[in-house]
Amino acid sequence: MASGSTEITSVWTKPARERRDQPTLSRDQIVAEAIALLDADGFDALSMRKLGARLGAGATSLYTHVANKDELLELVVDQVIGEIPLPAPDPERWRAVLHEQADGLRATILAHPWITVVLSSAALTSLGPNMMRLTDSMIAIVEAAGFDDEAVDIATNTVFQFVVGSCGNEAAMMTTIARSGLPTQQWVDQVKAASETAAQQYPRLHRRYAHQRPQVVEEPANGVLSRFTQAIDLILDGAQARHAR
């Protein structure tokens, strides 16, 4: 018995729909308004009905351009990814250039924190042209260092996944601080004090909390950026060590 094949369903694998009449809304208008809604109210606020209301149209008008919410999310993610600057590869400064690329990705994600939810749940975002340009750029940066294909793939994938994951945690912390109504330093002090107390039965963890408590954090992004930079360096150190072997 012959096995059947399942076609991948993505907005990027479908031909553009043709219409003889002029549609009231364009795809660009729909995507721009969806991004504005997501930025203002977060991932859970997006629905085709609510988006249609914001555009002064019924949800059915949106289906002229996208079949469902998943296809809309593919479009909005790719539009946002297109905001990221793509630095030119430089074999002499490849680490600095990759840091620049990671910083650009981080800044864009934190400007649109809902994107971490989409990237963790929608694998087909990788098919978007802007996402492909970003991926190709990261590959070119690491290739310039002379690494083999396997090391390039591991390094670029690891850096990308780390940025997305760490930004998800960072965005969640910033949202929690904002909702608390407390100054950043006061919130940090309270959480560290509570963590130190709760970790008393775990000596290694408790020692770290106790050591970190005197630190002053003026803005959450500042302290995180230092750790962020160090973490990227650890990944690149591993890539260089592998290449040297």
Does 147 score more than 60 pLDDT? Answer: yes
Inside any domain, residue 45: yes
- Count of domains in the chain? 1
Inside any domain, residue 182: no
**pLDDT tens across 212-226, in order?**
755 545 444 555 568
- The 10 Å CB-count burial string (b at 16+, else e) for 16-29 is eeeeeeeeebebee
pLDDT (average), residues 74-98: 95
**pLDDT tens across 178-192, in order?**
889 999 888 888 988
Q: Torsion over CA of 223, 225, 227 and 230, rounded to 10 degrees? A: -140
Inside any domain, residue 42: yes
Inside any domain, residue 38: yes
pLDDT higher at 21 or 97 = 97
Inside any domain, residue 74: no
Inside any domain, residue 52: yes
Does 97 score more than 60 pLDDT? Answer: yes
| Token pair of 168 as six digits | 């998800």
How much is the pLDDT for 64? 83
**pLDDT tens across 235-245, in order?**
999 988 888 87
How much is the pLDDT for 130? 96
Inside any domain, residue 36: yes
Does 159 score more than 60 pLDDT? Answer: yes
Does 2 score more than 80 pLDDT? Answer: no
How much is the pLDDT for 194? 92
CATH code (residue 39): 1.10.10.60
| Token pair of 205 as six digits | 């963890």
pLDDT higher at 165 or 7 = 165
**Sign of the torsion formed by the C-alpha atoms of 22, 28, 30 and 33:** negative
Whether the predicted model's global pTM rises above the 0.85 cut: no
Inside any domain, residue 130: no
pLDDT higher at 38 or 174 = 38
pLDDT higher at 53 or 211 = 53
| Token pair of 239 as six digits | 């890539």
pLDDT higher at 13 or 62 = 62
Structural domain boundaries enclosing 53: 23-67
